[in-house]
Chain A
Amino acid sequence: MAHVNENIKTYKGFRAITLLCLVVLYAPLVIVTIYSFNASQSITNWEGLSFRWYADVFTGPESAKFKSAAFNSFTIAIMAATASTMIATLAATAMVRGGQFKMRTVSFGLISLPLMVPEIVTAVATLIFFNAIGFTRGYLTILVAHVAFCIPFAYLPISARMQGIEDSFEQAAMDLYATRRQAFTKILMPLMAPGIISGFLLAFIVSLDDFIITNFVKGAGVETLPTAIFGSVKQGIKPNIMAISTMLLSVSIVMVTISYFVSKSDSTK
């Protein structure tokens, strides 16, 4: 694009609004992080820096509940992200490398269905489904539901990446006597790696963060971190909840940051 005078492009006040926007987005997270280090029993008064609430999460009266919830959350997130990433990779291969076909639009609609249907509706529908087939709600129902709604989150970065890789690379490989399988594993997969990693990490975060669907399909006695936190918050915000929230939000931010830098490292350029 031709160089355009900055004065014509920029509007007074837009920078201020952007900064305000960032403040609004980050202030609650920063405040909660700060207060998670509060020594006080009360959430209102600041009584100095302390790690007592972090210790409380691991050893306090509710620690058993949090530990089992964390175990459920992380194992489900790892399995759901792995499964949905594999499914999404296969689907992306068909959608991006499968030529033009009639069911393409339908397939895309189906893959993006979890993004279009309001989450509460998916939650209700999944609950009704498990009820109708007489499947007892618990760990397994959460896992299955998470695999399903994580697929579009894994699919989007993976297919975007694959679209960015010209098929002449694979054709060159096959021209040089590689079978299609060899062209896939030796050429396409290494080039796809950043997309697949991003897809996996996003699916992982989405699974780890999900509250609404999990809340509907979890059944009695099985908790994930979000449902456990929600249960506690219903009785009021306690300092140990802020500590656990801070840990969870750190995990998310670290993962998104990794995903960002991985997708930036583009070996095809």
Chain B
Amino acid sequence: MAAGAASGGSARADTYKDARGWLLLPSWAVLGIFVLGPVCMMLIYSFLTKEFRGGVIWEPSLAAYDQFFFDRGLFGDEPPKLEWTYITIFWRSIWQAGAATLLSLLIGFPTAYFIATRPENVRPVWVFLITIPYWVNLLIRTVSMKFLLRDQGPLNDFLIGTGLIDSPIHIVNTNFAVQLGLFYSYLPFMVLPIYAAVERYNFSLSEAAADLYASKWTTLRRIVLPAVKPGVVAGCILVFVPSMGSFLAPDLLGGAKNFMIGSLIEEQFKGNAGNWPFGAAASMILLTMVLIILMFSARQQAKADKAGG
């Protein structure tokens, strides 16, 4: 019998109950002032008027959001039409992030499953191997990817050298290069939660399915997948969310044609051509989308927890 169970309410250790206010104060202060505060400030900025050399004029305005969604012609006096430019960029970001998530899932699920079915003592080594590249500077990884994939890069050299192709394949500056870059950036986020779920999975269930005449692939589809679904969902969200707002992969691997939200936002704050309220508004729209996805997933997770326990 655990001490916590016996004493009813004190399941959680409370040695520092009386000091927790002081202990939490530094983190509240730093994160409140330098993360939460700025996000609130950004919300305010998105409703201000732009200053032409960057910055804002403190006059309330809906211009930023108006510019995002509506086209009022060159001089702003035509009847508003739906503006597609920015919606297209957002849509492309969602699409690219979705494709990168799918790619990560297709590669990440078998990988996670394979690692989780290794002997217990070597599993941490596999996990470690998968996560190391994540800790290498994202910029360096993206640059390395670009270096590898260039028209005159080692990959094309190798393929031409082996006689598989005659002329280099153009990968850099395509959608696929961006997806590959995003996949490379966030793959561990897909592998780790699925790995954790598969590790908890009770493989006697697979045996039971096999005993009841299910083929191996049917077992995977009908028994294993439903059991590890929370891990799969978590992995997809962890890849999709940062992919959508990524800047480096589209900027370095995608080129001008494959503009994503990150680059759109970045552009608003560089040099004199920027439009701070518009950048703030675009950031708010991105943040709202992300929070909706996270809330949705939290609700799903809570539902799964309730069903499971």
* A interface residues with partner B (beta carbon < 8 Å): 1-2, 4-5, 8-11, 13-15, 17-18, 20-22, 24-29, 31-32, 35, 43-44, 86-88, 90-91, 93-101, 103, 107, 110-111, 113-114, 116-122, 124-129, 131-132, 144-145, 147-149, 151, 155, 166-168, 170-171, 180, 183, 202, 205, 208-209, 211-212, 216, 226, 229-230, 233, 237, 241-242, 245, 248-249, 252-253, 255-257, 260, 264
Contact = CB atoms under 8 A, between A and B. Distances in A.
B28 A17 contact: no
26 contacts: A10-B117, A11-B216, A14-B110, A18-B126, A25-B130, A28-B141, A28-B144, A31-B144, A31-B147, A97-B14, A99-B17, A100-B12, A101-B17, A103-B24, A107-B28, A110-B27, A110-B28, A121-B283, A124-B269, A125-B41, A129-B42, A147-B30, A147-B34, A151-B30, A183-B15, A237-B146
Contacts of B35: 110, 113-114, 117, 122, 125-126, 148-149
A125 B196 CA distance: 34
B204 interface: yes
B114 A14 contact: yes
Contacts of A147: 30, 34
B27 A170 contact: no
Interface string B146-168: 11100011100000000000000
Given A18-B126, A125-B39, 16 more contacts: A8-B216, A14-B110, A90-B27, A93-B23, A96-B13, A97-B16, A98-B17, A110-B27, A110-B36, A121-B286, A129-B42, A180-B16, A202-B135, A229-B139, A233-B139, A252-B136
B137 A208 contact: yes
A211 to B, nearest CB: 5
A116 B55 CA distance: 26
A98 B16 contact: yes
Contacts, number: 287
A3 B247 CA distance: 47
A118 to B, nearest CB: 3
Interface stretch (B63-71, B82-90, B238-246, B300-308): B238-246
Interface of B: 3, 9-10, 12-17, 19-24, 26-28, 30-32, 34-39, 41-42, 45, 55, 107-108, 110-111, 113-115, 117, 124, 126, 128-133, 135-141, 143-148, 152-154, 183-184, 187, 202-204, 206-207, 210, 216, 219-220, 241-242, 244-248, 252, 261-262, 265-266, 269, 276, 279-280, 283, 286-287, 290-291, 294
B173 to A, nearest CB: 14
Contacts of A248: 137, 140
Contacts of B138: 209, 211
A252 B30 CA distance: 26
5 closest A-B pairs by beta carbon, nearest first, are A99-B14, A118-B245, A98-B20, A28-B144, A129-B38
